[in-house]
Every structure is written in C-alpha cells, then in structure tokens.
Structure 1
Amino acid sequence: MEQEIKAEFESSGFSVDDDDQILQKCLTYCINYKLSPSDLVSNWEIYYLNRQLNGLKLENAHMDGFLSYLQNETKQKIIKEDSHLHVYSSDDVEMLLGDDHDSTVGILNTPNSQYEKLHVDTYNSVSTPKTKENLLSSKDATDISSRITPFGQRISKFTSQFVFNSESVENRLSGQELNDMEDDIIRRVQTTERCNLQVHHLQPQSGCRFMYDRTKDRFNYLDNRIRKHANAFTSYGLYGEPSDATLASQKNTFAVGMVCCDGEGHLNEKSILMQGSTELSGGRRVRLDLQKLAHFSLFPGQVIGVEGHNPSGHCLIATKVIDYMPSSLDVDLPPAKKLAMDQDYQPTSSNDSRVLSLLIAAGPFTTTDNLLFEPLKELLAYASRRQPQLVILMGPFVDSDHPEIKRGTVDRVFDDIFHVEILRKLYDYTKYMGPSAHVILLPSIRDAHHDFVFPQPAFDIRQPDDISHQIACLPNPGLFSANEITFGCCTIDILKQLSGEEISRTSTDTMSGDRMGRLATHILGQRSYYPLYPPSLGVPLDLSLAPEALDIPLIPDILILPSDLSPFVKALSHKENDAEAATKCMCVNPGRLAKGIGGGTFVELHYNSEPEKSNASIIRI
C-alpha cells in the first residue's frame, strides 16, 4: 500500500522525499482516518493549496501540519453529520467555569423567537426605528441575557493578521486604538472627505429573465472570446497573423485557441486540446503537446496563443504559449456607460485625488449557529470608529448554505431578513456617519432572496430620502470607480475553482511559487471575471443574459475576489511585450466575515495613487 500511496502522489505531480518515515506516516494516516491513497492525496492537494507551500516535494517537515489538517477535517465531518453535537474549545471551558459574564457585549446575546418575530413586526409596521429597550419586556430581557453565543466569547475583538506594505504604519492598528474599540462611549463623528463614486455597466438589468440559455449562445460567446484574442494579437503585431492550427506544416506557425479537455475528467498533459475559431479553423480541435515547454499554467476555457508546428496535422507541438491578451487595448470606458452616484462630482485629472480609505468584507455575515448577524454589527461598529470613505460589502447576505435556512426552520421571509438584519443596520450606519459615508452592495449566487443566475443583477432597494445615493447596489460582477480609482469585483469563488482545474509546470528560475497570485493574474490576462469553461458545478452561468458583463474592459486598480481560500492582499504585474511591466493592479481576497460559529476576516485598505504607496491590513474578528 505504501507503493500505491507513492504512485498516487507521483501521478498528481508530487514527488516523495527519499525517507521511509514519510510513507509509513502516510500509511498510518490512511488506516487511522479510513482513507484510500487517492483520498489521502486529494486531502494533501487541498492542504498544499491552502498553506501555499513552495515546491512539489513531500517532505517530513510537512507531515505534522498535514496531520493537524486531517484531524480538523475529521472533526468537522463529525459535526456536520450530527448537527446537535458541539465540540468544546478552550473558550467554551472558560465560559462555563467563569463566574462573571458582565463584560459580554449586550448586542451579542441570542434573542428568542418571540423577540425575532416582534422585531420583524415592528419594522413592518413602524417606519421610525425603536431601541431594543422599548421592544423588550423585563422577562424577555432576562431570557436574552441568559443566552450567550460562542461568537461573543472570543478574547480579542480585532487582531491584525497581515499587513501589506508594512513600512507604511499610519494605518496599522495600534494598541491604543484597539483599546478604544472596547470603549462604550460614542465619540463624535469627525467630518471626512466625501468620495466621488461612479458605477460602470449596470448589466444585467434588475428583473431580467433568465434560464433561457441556449447552446447557440454559449457557442457564440466562446467563439467571440477566441476572435477577440486573435484580433488583439493581430493588432499587436508581435507574433504575426494567426493561422489554422489543424493544418499540417513543418514551419513554425502562430495559432490562437481555447484550451479544452478531451474527456470529462480533470485536465492533464495528455488530454489538452486547443479549439480554434470558426473563422480560421471552423471550430476544429487539435491536440497540444507541451513537452518542450519549461513552464506553463493552463485551465479549461483559457484562450491562449501558441507558437509551434504541426507536422502530422493531428498534434501541435508548442514551443511557446502566450496566456494573456496584449495590454495595448487598455481603453477607458465611454462616458455614456458611466452612472455617477454623486451628483456633485466634478472630474479631475490630478493624482492627488486618487486617495481613498475603505473597508472590504464578504459574506456570510452571520455565524452558523444563529441569524443574529453579530459579525456585521462588529464590522459596522469598527467602521464607525475608523470612519472610512467607502465600505464594500459582498454577498452572500442571506446565505442559502446557512444550516437554519437549509433545514427550513426559519419562520421569516428571506426578504424580511435582508431588509431587517442588513439594510436597516446600513441605514443606521449611514445616518450616523453623515453624507460622507458610502456603502456598496454586491450580490452572490448564494443569496437566498435574490436571483440564482450568473451574471447577476443588482439588488433593487429603495433608500430613505435622507440617505439617498449613499448605498449603491452593483451587479455581480461589477465595475465602479471611486476618486478615479477603478474597482473590479466578483463574488463567484473563481480562485478556488481555478485552483481545482489548473495544471501547471513550474521552474524555479522562471516562475515563483506564488500560486494565488498566478491564479489572480489569469483573471487579468484573460480579461474575464469568469474565464473557466465548462463552468464549475453549481455555477448558474447564463451566457444569453449579458455575456459582455463578464468582460474586463480595462485593468482595474483594485481587483476584489472573495474566496474560501486564505485571505491575501497582493500587488499583481500584468505582462506586456513578453516582460512584466510596472505593477498596475492590487488584488484583494478579504476572506469571509464569519466562519462557522466564530468570526472571520475583512480588509482595511488605504489606497494612495498606486499599490506601492498604499497599505492594507487583513483583520480577524
């Protein structure tokens, strides 16, 4: 069985160090956790990606961390099978043995169903918000104070997990600032500079029809992508005129096509096909031989340019692969496609205006043991103290994967949950912060109260007159600008899906081990928020709705891609003339604001004209 384990690792591209202890440990893991060799290697690939390990060699130093990962996965599997089972941690023991609960924040208490129903009824019948004390009787207040959530028992409220550009310390959390967050005294809000907000491309429109996707629409979309890349290479003039890759030729040619797999399984070096456009090759496919390449990174649906020769007409032997669209086509959007959210906006061209402070968070916004949205309350409390110019909130807001929603035990309409628990808190926040605060909302396909389609229309909400234009709703994916800083956002977990479909060959002298940065660079190189095709299971891709909504017309200054993978903030360099140009884009994965019964992460960013002068913090709550 040890030899089976070793062969399984090698078939997945990993090599095992010449140490018998590693295989013996792997065999022990298979026996203790009832895993087959293929299951063990699959778990190792997930651990390898999440830890962002360098190299493809399995070493003895990795085994202890891998064992901890397997133990945690087994525990989570047991908890999922028995929803009534609770695994106690050190925080729970301190809660049970502690005598004093007075220090617990009051808003983190778990209300009973009577309070939840009363809260909804009060919102529907009264337009003026009331305080919690007016809604609760003394008996209800006693019942609520006796129930404490695990989220409220965490020791540290906000901890800085990672700092981008650590030499810029002006925005780093200091100890005094963390202590100020524990202060219950409401400070007077200082006047902050209002940001100029513009939204680009409001497509698809709200209320549009979907689930009418046809094979013809998908074919036309894919063929247009290939032709668009071919035209870009032609206008660039560096690689010559693209030709038909299926024709036999002893000379080196240049072809443009889309990467495909010859079967239904995962892509590998023996199953790579390239499909040409109908204009050049009639949509025919040819096998791609990559043995002569020292490095590559490919996934299904990727449009590439290939230099090579096809001596037999059945296999294109590649000598060079260009996996990005030439960047000479960067053009600004026409003014007619822009919607100004700030009526007082006056465009300027000064670099001094490209300064912005913002918070970025992605759902879920509540823990899995309740629907109190405690992490969202903490985030807005943090925002009221830090006073950013912009807060970007990305779905899911009413998560369809929440245990209570999946079991059907919620006695409220999903729209009511969204309006009461999300919008009402945002209305209170914007009223408290004044006209300088802006909030942007992006939906997710996991939102139970919204259309299950991608690309996805924006939320259709009605704001009170006194805070009109302070909350902007964008489609998914969305493109907007604030203070002349361009943002691109997409709530589909494309990074995780690409990591499961990509195959790559790396060499230490040409490519770094930054896998997450390479996956994010694919989004920019393909000029598409979702370049993967066929789409991942569970993604309701509808290419008849608004296929142009998936295109990235220009390289944004900040690209926001929330993912279940480890949160990060990276400065990406896009390629031009076969060389890395100056950094143009900052990629942000804020993580999830809530993870399980505890808090997650969000990002605080201070952008200053370019990524090198900007700094960001990944903050765990």
Structure 2
Amino acid sequence: MGHTKELIDQFGPEVDDSSILETMESLLRIHALSVEDLFIKWEQFSVHRNETHTKLNQKNLESYKDFLQQQVEKRAQQIASSSNVHSSGVKPKIVKPIGSSPSLFGFNIPKTPTLKKRKLNVKDSNGGSVSNTSSKLEFSAGPANTIDIRDEGSQTTTPNIMNSSILELGSDVIATTPAPLKSSHESGKILDSLNPENMEVAEGLDFESEDKVRISPYFDAQKFKFRTMRQNLQDAADVLDYQIEMFKTIIQKHYELTNSDFGDPTIQSQSEIYTVGRIVPDSPTAEGFLNTESLALETSRSGGIGRRVRLDLTKVAELTLFCGQLVAFKGKNANGDYFMVEEIISLPYPDSPVSTSDDIQESQLLLDNKSMKVVITSGPYFPDNSFDLEYLVSFVEKINNEIKPHILIMFGPFVDVTNPLVAKGAIPNFPNLKSQPKTLDEIFTKVFVPLLKNINSKIQIILIPSTRDSVSKHAAYPQDSLDRKLLQLPKNFKCFTNPSTFQLNEVFFGCSNVDLFKDMKEITKGGNTSMRNRFDRVSEHMLQQRRYYPVLPGGIKKQPITENGKKRYVHISGADLDVPYLGLTEFIGGFAPDVIIVPSELQYFARVIQNVVVINPGRFVRPNGGRGTFIQMTIESPNLENGKLTKMGDQEEIYLHNIWKRVRVDIVTN
C-alpha cells in the first residue's frame, strides 16, 4: 500500500498487518491527514484513554475512528459558532492554532509596574445549593496529613491533607465528586530511560554531608517585570524586524557571503540572490493548517521594505517549515509574482557551552566527585475532577526518603486556572484547616505550601511558573517569576522566570514552560524529512532558531461557553505572546544549553538532539486522576581523566561539557 513504510516507521511493527494497514489507509484518505498527523492524533487518543501505549488492534482502531470523528464535529461547531459567513459550495477552513514568535534578547525592554492579584468568587454562579443525600459524612481532623471520614458508623483514614471527593460550591453547600481513576502503572516504575547501560542511578544527596550544587541564574529578572496587555505596535515591529537582520548576519558570517549576494525577493529580477526572512501565510486572514502552496516570505525593512512575497517551493525536494520560522533562501523572482526557491540554506546550530579546567575541578569538589541527581516534575498536580493531592503527598515522602535529589525542578501550573473546577469557582472544603482559603492564592499558600515545606531543607527547589498559574501575576510569555516571599516559601526555594537559563555546577539548563511540541504545526515535504521523528524535528527547529518558542503567532486554547442560549468559544490559555519582549525567550549568549526542558501534553520523552539533551517530563497527574510521570536525572561528575570531556583549543584548557555522554535520564511514574 502507498503509506506502508511510513506507517511502520511511525507506529512500529504492530501496524504491519493487512487489516490494520487497510484501516489506516482509509483514515488517511477520509480525514486528509499525513501519516505524521495520524500518529500525533493516535498519541492524543492514548492520552485521552489514560494509557501510555495503546495497543494497535481492530478494537482500539474502531474507538480511534470515533475519536477522530468527534474532533471533526467539534471543529465544525467552532466554525459555525465563530463565523457569520454562510457556505455556498465553499468548504470552510478549520480553525486551528498555528504557533508563536521571535525577538532579540533584551532589545527595547521597558520596566513597568506589576499587576495586582486576582480574587475568585467562590459562590455558585446560579445562586443555588447542591446537597448530598446518598450518605451522611462527618469530618474530624486526624494526625498530620490525614483526615478521618466517618460514614454511618464506619471509619477510614485517608493519607491526604484534604478529602478529594468533597467539594464546596457555596459557603454552606457540600457535594461529592467522582473519585479519580488510578493508573495501572505502579508508583516508581521506570517507563523509559536514556543511557541506562552506561551508568547506574545516583545515590543522591547525603543529608549529613556538606555536598552542595551551586545554582547560577543566567537571566536578568528585572527585564521580566513588564506589564502585560500593553503591547506597542512600533516596539513589536522593531523586534521582529531586528531579528531578521540578526539572522542575516549569522548566515552571512557562517557562509562567508558579501552584502552584494543578498537582494530583495519582492522585486522582479533574472539573477539569483540570497534572502533572509520569516515564513508567514500568503493571506493575512489564513487560518488552520497550511501547505507548501500557501506560504509567503516576510522581509525586513532593509531587505524588502517589510513586504511579503509568495513562495514557489516546487524545486525543493525536502523541507520542513512552520509559521514564524526564520529562513534563508537562494532563488529568484523572475516574473514579479512569486519567489522561486532553488535552495533552502541550512541555519547553523548554536555553539555548545564550555568550562575551564579550574571550573571543572571546582564542580568536582562541590559534590566530592559524586554524581548529581536532579528530579523534574510538571503540573498540573491535581486532576480535572477533584482536588486530590494524594500523589503529591506520596511524592514528597519519596523525595525525602528514597530519591533524595540534589535539585528538584517543579514546573507549573500549580493551581491551574483552566481546571474545570477552578473555572467554576468550586473551591473545596478543607476540614483540617482553621480558616478556609478564599482566593486561589490562598489555596496555594494554605494547601500547597505546607506540603512543599515538608521537603527536606537540604534539597534545593526551583519553581518555574506557567501562564495558566493562578498564583502568577504575569499571564503572558515571557513570564515573570513567582514571588517566593509572598507565597511564604522557605529559602531553599528559588523562583525563576519562564523561560529561564541557569547553571547547576557546570551544567547549563534551559527551561521553557510553553507547549512548543504541540503548538508547532510543520509543513513537511520529502520522504527522509517527513519520516523522521517529529520530536527530533521540532527540537532541531528550536536549536536552529535559537529560541525556546520560535512559532508565530502563538498557540491558543479555547473553551466553549453558552450565553443567552448561544454557544461561543473564548480564549482561556495558550502561549499568549508579548511580542515586544520576545527577546527574553532567546538562548543566552548565543549558545545552546546542555539540557533543555520543555513540558508538553504530548508523550513524555528524553532525546539527544545535536549533543543537547531535550526532555519532556510529561504531566505529573493525568486529567482523569491517573498516575503521571516525572524525570530522574543522574549527571556524572566531570572528570578530566576519563575522556568524556572534549578539549577545545591548544593553549587555554577549555572543555566541552558533553552532558549527553555522562547523563542518565529515567522517566518514572509518580
């Protein structure tokens, strides 16, 4: 069949069955999907079913068909409710998010006051009351982190700081919600590993020793303290224009080109030229998925007066492009209507970080030549159908008694504003608290903080916010850090910005809490390109673009609401880019970090891309309450004698870190 090899490459040997292949080919034709898109939707289907790997058989394929059909119907409803254009034989465009944006580090960044905190109305929006008549429940405070629940004479004790099945809709009303489903995976199970054969899991931190990891931030926190929703059109234009010029300089230097080699692609000419610009849709109102026939190149002011020109990519055998991508082309505009691309010039990858021999030896001494242990988690930390923090309670216990990491990196959201219960104002009743939380900030300080304070004070913890965090006063990307003192966190907590670059001893970490892997919608052409793993391609784009989120415009998430009997969709979350400040999302110093962490709703992974370890830790808790995952990293102490460090230069002793050679990454169930 036509796509047999591609299907096997994407789905694995399970698909190599005549009946399964026939069904897959049928789905490709019916839904007009590429093999890669079909695989992405299969992963979404697995997440929807709370499974890490859904077995490929006819029974599951039938459910998958229904899943795809439901997505089609949902999109159709979105179009019908958001458009006033009546169809007259014209097929409507599917409204889908495309991506995000670029800029220069620190360019034109003003300082502005911060915003005030938000409060949540905890009353039922209908003013009514809900009662539970199935059984009589009584509550009393038990030992630390427990609640006694008595149901008509019987008694059980739940190891949690609150009862996950109790929800307060009003000041006096209590109702029950379904208990969260538990995952089939046992706690602490290693689902996948990177480099497991090369090293053992580190023992971790000895609380009695003086071992310490030095944390060095590489960002200017003051530049993130800007006020959102104050975008200036001129500032945004300056940043986007300057970035094209910056990449032109990089291309010119790397390929040793002269100024005369570059030209204006929007002007008719019979001569071949080099040009640098940004990939955009050929129509300002274009929505949904694009293709190679619907792309244009946006130029800079000096390179083409900021005009756009349609692209003809028929002569290019292989490509992978996305909206917002900075590209370099060789070609000509022979007729004045479009730019015929003869060659796509590959962008150079950024340099790798290095350290001197003295820095290497100092890092060895800090941990007494022992391996460093880092644990990474990504929110949300409670499911969509309850406020159950049972997994976080048990995780804290494991951190203290079993895992004992030197560093714990926790990504938000901690209290997710898009959670259905939070969105309804359904703050739960917490029987063991003297005073109930009245705002979302108080849920964090009164519920999360006591749990986090139970973590051993010798463990250093880094918190990185999400644009969906209720405790963040900053709801745009790039995002300011959380306020440690305001949130009443102890001194072993460090609050960093989103994104942020920092150093743990000699190792450079780059963290960005926006879902790039889901938001980037690629346009691929050519067998070798389209058959490569999508996570690899997106990671390479991120490295070549030298930005943590190189897509423009940013991905958005919409939620249906009903007003006066009519349904409409409103924006609730997403990348929410603040374009004039996108310089803060670029790699610091022109080099790529040793480790890049980008949480995503898609499948967890840990991969080595161009000598950079790229990680998606996955969700800590699944939406329906199933066990999620976290990352456990073992980083071998740097050693100048074992040959794992590469010496650069002949005179001064400078070494590449080569973290990809001396790291073990385990993906573990929480």
TM-score, normalised with respect to structure 1:
0.71
Q: What is the CA distance between 1:154 and its match in structure 2?
A: 5.6
The answer to whether structure 1 residue 131 and structure 2 residue 131 are counterparts is no
Amino acid at match of 1:568: F
Distance 1:223 1:465 in 2: 42
Correspondent of 2:306 among 273, 283, 287: 283
In structure 2, the partner of 1:142 is: 155
Secondary structure at the aligned position of 2:538 is classed as helix
Secondary structure at the aligned position of 1:532 is classed as coil
Amino acid at match of 1:409: A
Distance 2:393 2:216 in 1: 27
Identity of paired residues, percent? 23
Distance 2:466 2:487 in 1: 24
Q: 1:360 to 1:281 in 2, by over 3 A?
A: same
Amino acid at match of 2:422: I
Distance 2:440 2:275 in 1: 50
In structure 2, the partner of 1:46 is: 40
Q: 1:367 to 1:287 in 2, by over 3 A?
A: same
Correspondent of 1:551 among 586, 599, 618: 586
The answer to whether structure 1 residue 483 and structure 2 residue 505 are counterparts is yes
Distance 2:669 2:18 in 1: 40
Correspondent of 2:290 among 262, 267, 277: 267
Distance 1:282 1:208 in 2: 30
| 8 Å contact kept, 1:256–1:305 | yes
Correspondent of 1:541 among 550, 554, 577: 577
Correspondent of 2:453 among 405, 427, 433: 427
Q: 1:572 to 1:150 in 2, by over 3 A?
A: same
In structure 2, the partner of 1:258 is: 278
In structure 1, the partner of 2:176 is: none
Q: 1:560 to 1:226 in 2, by over 3 A?
A: same
Ranges in structure 2 where 5+ consecutive residues have no aligned partner:
1-6, 8-14, 47-55, 74-136, 166-178, 429-436, 557-573, 637-656
The answer to whether structure 1 residue 157 and structure 2 residue 164 are counterparts is no
Aligned pairs (5 A) from 1:188-587: 189=207, 191=209, 193-203=211-221, 208-241=226-259, 242-263=262-283, 264-265=286-287, 266-325=289-348, 327=350, 352=364, 356-384=372-400, 385-410=402-427, 412=437, 413-431=439-457, 434=458, 437-450=459-472, 451-462=474-485, 467-468=490-491, 470-498=492-520, 501-508=521-528, 513-537=532-556, 538-544=574-580, 546-553=581-588, 554-573=591-610, 583=611, 585-587=612-614
Question: What CA deviation, in whole Å up to 9, does each residue of 1:395-435 have, x standing for no partner?
Answer: 1110122221122111532111112332222222033xx3x
Correspondent of 1:69 among 41, 64, 71: 64
Q: 1:214 to 1:189 in 2, by over 3 A?
A: same
Question: What CA deviation, in whole Å up to 9, does each residue of 1:291-320 have, x standing for no partner?
Answer: 222211100100011112222233222222
In structure 1, the partner of 2:53 is: none
In structure 1, the partner of 2:106 is: none
Amino acid at match of 1:357: K
| 8 Å contact kept, 1:243–1:255 | yes
Question: What CA deviation, in whole Å up to 9, does each residue of 1:338-383 have, x standing for no partner?
Answer: xxxxxxxx95566747953101110011122321322222322222
Secondary structure at the aligned position of 2:634 is classed as strand
Amino acid at match of 2:601: D
Secondary structure at the aligned position of 1:312 is classed as coil
| 8 Å contact kept, 2:332–2:341 | yes
| 8 Å contact kept, 2:269–2:333 | yes
Q: What is the CA distance between 1:172 and its match in structure 2?
A: 8.8
Q: What is the CA distance between 1:460 and its match in structure 2?
A: 0.4
Question: What CA deviation, in whole Å up to 9, does each residue of 1:133-172 have, x standing for no partner?
Answer: 7x87989993655988546686622211101112125119
Amino acid at match of 1:406: A
Q: 1:238 to 1:326 in 2, by over 3 A?
A: farther
In structure 2, the partner of 1:126 is: none
Amino acid at match of 1:232: I
| 8 Å contact kept, 2:139–2:150 | no
Secondary structure at the aligned position of 1:562 is classed as coil
| 8 Å contact kept, 1:361–1:602 | yes
RMSD in angstroms over aligned alpha carbons?
4.2
Distance 1:274 1:327 in 2: 24
Distance 2:441 2:599 in 1: 24
Aligned pairs (5 A) from 1:15-26: 25=23
Question: What CA deviation, in whole Å up to 9, does each residue of 1:226-266 have, x standing for no partner?
Answer: 01101111222434433222233333211100001113133
Distance 1:147 1:535 in 2: 35
| 8 Å contact kept, 2:449–2:489 | no
For these two proteins, the number of residue pairs brought into alignment is: 504
Q: 1:40 to 1:504 in 2, by over 3 A?
A: closer
In structure 2, the partner of 1:600 is: 628
| 8 Å contact kept, 1:364–1:593 | yes
Question: What CA deviation, in whole Å up to 9, does each residue of 1:482-538 have, x standing for no partner?
Answer: 01211111111011001xx21112333x77621111101111110111211122224
Amino acid at match of 1:421: V
| 8 Å contact kept, 2:621–2:628 | yes
Distance 2:274 2:164 in 1: 68
Q: 1:279 to 1:77 in 2, by over 3 A?
A: closer
Distance 2:305 2:59 in 1: 53
In structure 2, the partner of 1:103 is: none
TM-score, normalised with respect to structure 2:
0.66
Q: What is the CA distance between 1:281 and its match in structure 2?
A: 1.0
Amino acid at match of 1:67: E
Q: Name whichever of 157-166 and 408-417 sits farther off.
A: 408-417
| 8 Å contact kept, 2:139–2:148 | no
| 8 Å contact kept, 1:233–1:326 | no
| 8 Å contact kept, 1:240–1:254 | no
In structure 2, the partner of 1:580 is: none
| 8 Å contact kept, 2:499–2:510 | yes
Q: 1:375 to 1:239 in 2, by over 3 A?
A: farther
| 8 Å contact kept, 1:206–1:460 | no
Secondary structure at the aligned position of 1:376 is classed as helix
Distance 1:307 1:63 in 2: 48
Q: Which has the higher helix share?
A: 1
| 8 Å contact kept, 2:464–2:513 | yes
Amino acid at match of 1:534: P
Secondary structure at the aligned position of 1:611 is classed as helix
| 8 Å contact kept, 2:45–2:64 | no
Amino acid at match of 1:224: Y
Distance 2:70 2:44 in 1: 18
Distance 1:465 1:363 in 2: 20
Distance 2:274 2:480 in 1: 39
In structure 2, the partner of 1:171 is: 201
